[in-house]
Amino acid sequence: MKLRLLSRADVERLLTWPEAIRLQGEAFGLLSAGEAVNPVKTLIASHQPDAEVLFMPALLKGGRGFGLKYVSDFHGNAALGLPRLQALVLLLDGQTGVPAAILEGRHLTNVRTGAGAGLATQLLARRDAAVVAVFGAGEVAGPCLVAVCHVRPVRKVWVCSRTEARARAFIERMQAEGAPVPGDIAFTADRRRAVAEADVLVVGTNAKAAVFDGRDLRPGTHVNSLGNSTGRELDAETVRRSKVFMDSRDGCLAYSRDILEPIREGAIRAEDLCGELGEVVIGKKPGRTDEREITLFKSLGVAVQDLVTAQHVLREAQRRGIGTEVDL
């Protein structure tokens, strides 16, 4: 029994942005069409050490594949010189359950998360969207910005972060990406200005409270919110003013404080939420229907994204002879 091991470098070689964005449409469409089984993720929190660990299983019906992702966020890792986030994806044959591959999951997670924001922007943002405001300067925000730039003609980016030095390091990384990411990327401490000028917002933070005032959103803005399961980065006004689409309705109503708190506060009702992004993909729900609508994509990440993306990477690895095979 052969198991293929794929390193981060392997995944980077095998996964392009256009393919990643396309694959998220496939994954969300399968989920919303009932062709995937995607249980709500299992979250285990630790206080000593301070950490969250997620186990995320999924399968595609008809024996098309099983997968499981482990992802952890150990908050003290930075002090040890280690990345906070660690992840692995296990793929199993859909007909036999035989383990097929293990992939380094951190890069795959970052790319599929960013590509999800890119897909949402492609489906929901105005076609002429050209100014992006980014909240956060970490591993989530960067891939999201890159993906957004692949689907819209972005010419200006504002970056808002609690730490200016971190924001400037982020700007250097993003400028080094080159086209389609523009060179005009600047830090601002004026969050109201950034929000008021933006056509698209990318919000990917570890914040525990809202990072901007929803009253500052212009009509026609699209918001991508991809913050973590335990935090909150949006205020109730943002959610109230928006047409809200989620990666998974069940997942967001179980874990997303950005959705749950406005419901508890009486700002919205669960039935006011428009639905899942996959419903737009398969034509079950309309996306943007008016140039003045504010649209919001809320994503905590779903395992079917990892499964579909990892399956593509494995197929490419097998075709091109990339990776290391281990005989179990």
156 and 260, same domain (yes or no): yes
The predicted-structure confidence for 130-139, as pLDDT tens digits, reads as follows 999 999 998 8
Across the chain, what does the average pLDDT equal? 96
Tokens matching residue 214: 């929803």
310: in domain? yes
270 and 321, same domain (yes or no): no
18 and 98, same domain (yes or no): yes
31 and 45, same domain (yes or no): yes
Has residue 77 got a pLDDT over 80? yes
115: in domain? no
CA distance 204 to 210: 12
Return the pLDDT at 41: 86
32 and 99, same domain (yes or no): yes
The pLDDT > 90 percentage for the chain reads 91
139 and 258, same domain (yes or no): yes
What mean pLDDT do residues 64-69 have? 96
Has residue 214 got a pLDDT over 90? yes
180 and 161, same domain (yes or no): yes
Tokens matching residue 266: 């009486």
159 and 78, same domain (yes or no): no
69 and 139, same domain (yes or no): no
236 and 316, same domain (yes or no): no
Which CATH number characterizes residue 20's domain?
3.30.1780.10
What mean pLDDT do residues 312-322 have? 98
Q: Are 64 and 308 in contact (CB under 8 A)?
A: no
Has residue 177 got a pLDDT over 80? yes
Which CATH number characterizes residue 144's domain?
3.40.50.720
Return the pLDDT at 139: 87
CA distance 238 to 223: 9
196: in domain? yes
Count of domains observed in the chain: 2
Domain that holds residue 158: 120-301
136 and 257, same domain (yes or no): yes
113: in domain? no
267: in domain? yes
254: in domain? yes
114: in domain? no
What mean pLDDT do residues 222-231 have? 87
Q: Which candidate, 252, 248, 230, 250, places its Cα nearest to that of 239?
A: 252
Tokens matching residue 92: 């199993």
267 and 146, same domain (yes or no): yes
Residues in contact with 271: Cβ distance below 8 Å, sequence separation at least 6, in sequence order: none
pTM score, whole prediction:
0.94
The predicted-structure confidence for 16-40, as pLDDT tens digits, reads as follows 999 999 999 999 999 999 999 999 8
Cis peptide before 99 (omega within 30 of 0): no
The predicted-structure confidence for 109-137, as pLDDT tens digits, reads as follows 999 999 999 999 999 999 999 999 999 99
Residues in contact with 108: Cβ distance below 8 Å, sequence separation at least 6, in sequence order: 11, 15, 87, 89, 306, 309, 310, 313
